[in-house]
Amino acid sequence: MWTETLVVASLIAFATYFCWYAFVGKTLQPITNEEADLTWRLHKKNSGCKGSRITDMLSYRGKVIGFRCDCGYEFKQKRLLGQNVQKHPTPVDNQSQETPRAGLPG
């Protein structure tokens, strides 16, 4: 009797934790200054905000995660714990990757 109750309680606890982890648990995601600027411009356009600038850049562990607008709006980029971290591509210099063709002066 006690063993069955303990097993059922453990399964319910595990299922509850899994649902929280998969659908509710979130962590902060770093963003670039360009992404913060674009998000602020979308906020101004969609909400009719009269703010003239971003008041604060919010940071966590040395990385920008959001901003605070003059109007009081605060944006923090979050992602689900189960999602992969988005990596920002770095610009590539196309000229340095060109290789001279064999037999042609270069």
Is the residue at 3 inside a domain? no
Calculate the average pLDDT of the chain: 79
Is the residue at 98 inside a domain? no
Is the residue at 53 inside a domain? yes
pLDDT of residue 106: 45
Report the domain count for the chain: 1
Q: Which two tokens stand for residue 57?
A: 């850049």
Report pLDDT digits (tens) over 6-57: 999 999 999 988 887 777 777 888 888 888 889 999 999 999 888 888 888 8
| Cα–Cα distance, 14 to 57 (Å, whole number) | 38
C-beta separation of 73 from 43 below 8 A:
yes
Question: Which range of residues forms the domain containing residue 42?
Answer: 25-83
Is the residue at 77 inside a domain? yes
Which residue, among 72, 73, 54, 53, has the nearest Cα to 64 in the 3D structure?
54
Is the residue at 29 inside a domain? yes
pLDDT of residue 23: 74
pTM: 0.57
Is the residue at 71 inside a domain? yes
Is the residue at 6 inside a domain? no
For the chain, percent of residues with pLDDT exceeding 70: 76
Is the residue at 15 inside a domain? no
